[in-house]
Structure 1
Amino acid sequence: MKRKIILASGSPRRKRMFEDMRIDFSVMVSNYEEDITGKDYDVSLVEKTAYNKALEVSKRADDDALIVAADTVVVFDKKILGKPKDKADAKQMLKMLQGNTHTVVTSIAIIDNLEKKTLINSEKTKVTFDKLTDREIDDYIKTGEPMDKAGAYGIQGLGCVFIQKVDGCYNNVVGLPAYLLAKMLKSFGVYLF
């Protein structure tokens, strides 16, 4: 049986990754919002956010839908960094990350409306930034790229020039660990090929 898969996200990066993985899906943006920025890191917070995003969409989706939601955060010094509130916040985040290693955590939640089954998993990746000058930070912020991304950078865009090392899943840093998603979908009987 072919499953109706819904991506519960408005993220263009996640949508693109679903397309790249050739997943037949539709988008239904979740209205759930919880700001965990600044809180002490605990993977359960990220998993809860992903689950609540999926749950909100599951209530509006068809009875046979499989809902996929994700939440990505940057963790530095045991604190969660979300998307910057403004340019000053983006600058503060980039100044913290520069010259240091941080962790990117993405939690994926899948809710099967048909079988009433839920699965939640998380992936962690360590990312090391080069040292940055104030000018590099200011010029990068002027591009607008940091403003809609956890940790105020996009590894898949201009932010890639700041990254010295990635230890773990690259796609996790983009916002969706593809191999973990594929593995989770298999447990619902969905195979990509």
Structure 2
Amino acid sequence: MSVRFVLASASPARLKTLRGAGVEPEVIVSGVDEDNVTAESPGELARVLATLKARAVVAELTEHAAVLGCDSVLELDGEPFGKPGTPEIARERLRSMRGRTGVLHTGHCLIDTTSKRELRELESTTVRFADLTDEEIDAYVATGEPLVVAGSFTVDGLGGPFVTGIEGDYHNVVGVSLPLLRRMLAEVGISWPALWKSSPRVSYDETEAARYDDTRGGLARAQAAAEAVDSLLPKGGRVLELAVGTGIVGAELVARGNLVHGVDLSTAMLEHARIRLPGHVAAADAARLPIADRRCDAVVAVWLLHLLDDSEPVVAEVARILRPDGVFVTTTEKTDAGRYADGRGPNESRSQDALSHLVATAARHRLALDAATTFAGPRRTSGETPIYPVVRFRRT
């Protein structure tokens, strides 16, 4: 019997771990605000957060599924260390951790809607950290990786050389204990091999993702787009790219000094994006972002809004997560972009990214148009050079 298995987590590391074990989950991000949750101990905090994530996703389902929620918390001196969020906090935490031993707790909550059972478990692994130098800490923080992971470190990424040993389940440190998950699944009547037969649900197939860059202007257009977008971004802040795709534009923004995180609904696209933006991409719906209010300095959308039937839910989410004075930078007038090349105006009633429509929609969510630019795409076989408009809205 086919099992619908859902991972209620945006963590690329958890997804990679499950895939490495032959499981292809459907990813649905819960949107739980982790910062506003407290518990009596770091371990219990991890278990509570995992439970909240799983329950939030189950509440949205219309079909039966086995839903796994996970959350990790590092315990040091009895205090919980989650995701630091800022370079300053990450730097401070890494200095306090160096040469010491901590405990990485990962809470697991499995809800099987068929059997109507909810299991809540905790796996804890002891982690020993190297005695990092200040230079190593500064260099690691500059990569951006420790800002978005529990405890400010990874064992399977750039932080691996800074972990001198572990006592317990390695995969638990990455984010999900496979032996524990196997036992939990067995309790609700699901065998581990049954998950090997589950099929992923993706927006683009692997063939489309593999040829996407070459059929969309390749690196030249990505570099031109990134240069235009970068000119409208605040310097030194965190940037979230919606519909990050293969990460080709995001990587160019990173090369220009931006700290970029990306989200996309397509599992196939994210496979490519993880190579360009390791540790900084996640599966998420742009209309339901797993980010707390007022957390982002800038949000970027390159060739997204014209694909939507209704752009307002995305614009509303952008306004929600932007800090005061934060900016939303997006391409506009996508299919009419060539009209700009010969001086004609856009068809204002055409699309969800039509400028007049976008300005009115943004205004309803306290976003005001305050800057614009354009960039040129590669010359077409007809001899025409397409011009693409980019606009900036500021949170008021």
Asked if Structure 1 and Structure 2 have the same fold, meaning a TM-score greater than 0.5 normalized by the shorter chain, the answer is yes
**Counterpart for residue 107 of structure 1:** 107
Per-residue deviation, 1:41: 2.5
Residue matched to 1:52: 52
What SS is found at the alignment partner of 2:14?
Answer: helix
1:5 and 2:5 are equivalent in the alignment? yes
> Is the CA contact (8 Å cut-off) linking 2:42 and 2:79 kept in structure 1?
no
CA distance in 1, matches of 2:191, 2:49: 26
| 1:33 corresponding residue in structure 2 | 33
TM-score w.r.t. length of structure 2: 0.47
Structure 1 residues 37 and 93, CA gap change in structure 2 (3 angstroms): farther
Q: Which amino acid aligns with 2:65?
A: A
2: CA distance, partners of 1:18 / 1:86: 28
For residue 165 of structure 1, report the CA deviation from its aligned partner. 1.4
The DSSP-based 3-state class of the residue aligned with 2:34 is coil
Rg: which structure is higher? 2
1:20 aligns to 2:20 (yes or no): yes
Q: Report what 1:78 is aligned to.
A: 78
Distance 1:136 1:37 in 2: 32
The whole-number CA distance in structure 1 between the counterparts of 2:47 and 2:159 is: 26
Cα offsets for 1:45-100 (capped at 9, x unmatched)? 22111111000000111341111110101000000000012001000110111010
1:123-165 Cα offsets, whole Å, 9 max, x none, are 1111111111111100111112111111111110121111111
For the Cα contact (< 8 Å) 1:38–1:81, is it kept in 2? no
For 2:132 and 2:87, the matched residues in 1 are separated by 16
Structure 1: gaps of 5 or more residues: none
- SS of residue in 2 equivalent to 1:67: strand
Over 3 Å counting, the alpha-carbon distance change for 1:5 and 1:62 in structure 2 is: farther
Aligned length: 193
Q: Please name the residue that 1:140 is paired with.
A: 140
Query: Secondary structure at the residue paired with 1:158?
Result: coil
Percent identity, aligned pairs only? 34
2:43 matches 1:43: yes
CA 55–133 in structure 1, closer or farther in 2 if over 3 Å, else same:
same
Q: Which segments of 5 or more consecutive residues in structure 2 lack a partner in the other structure?
A: 194-396
Q: Deviations over 1:88-131 (max 9, x none)?
A: 10001101110100000001001111221100111111111111
1:168 counterpart residue number? 168
CA distance in 2, matches of 1:31, 1:64: 20
Cα distance 1:31–1:180, how it changes in 2: closer, same or farther (>3 A)?
Answer: same
CA distance in 2: counterparts of 1:51 and 1:5, whole angstroms:
16
Corresponding letter in the other structure for 1:55: R
Question: What secondary structure, in the 3-state scheme, does the structure 2 residue paired with 1:60 have?
Answer: coil
Whole-angstrom distance in 2 between the partners of 1:28 and 1:80? 26
Aligned AA (1:15): L
TM-score (norm: length of structure 1) = 0.94
Moved more, 150-159 or 17-26: 17-26
What is the CA–CA distance in structure 2 between the aligned matches of 1:50 and 1:87, rounded to whole Å? 25
Whole-angstrom distance in 2 between the partners of 1:63 and 1:14: 23
Deviation at 1:38?
Answer: 8.9
Cα distance in 2 for residues equivalent to 1:190 and 1:101: 36
For 1:118, the equivalent position in structure 2 comes to: 118
Tell me by how many angstroms 1:25 deviates.
2.4
Q: 3-state DSSP class of the match of 2:114? A: coil
Match of 2:156 in 1: 156
Q: Against the structure 1 CA distance between its residues 167 and 3, is the aligned structure 2 distance closer, same or farther, given a 3 Å change threshold?
A: same
Once residues 125 and 64 of structure 2 are traced to their aligned partners in structure 1, the CA distance between those partners, rounded to angstroms, is: 33
Q: In 2, distance between residues paired with 1:37 and 1:82?
A: 11
Letter in 1 for 2:44: S
Letter in 2 for 1:4: R
Higher relative contact order (CA 8 A, sep 6+): 1
How far off is 1:44 after superposition?
2.4
Q: 1:110 to 1:163 in 2, by over 3 A?
A: same
Aligned to 2:69: 69
Structure 1 residue 7, shift from structure 2 partner: 0.7
Are the counterparts in 2 of residues 37 and 82 from structure 1 also a CA contact under 8 Å? Answer: no
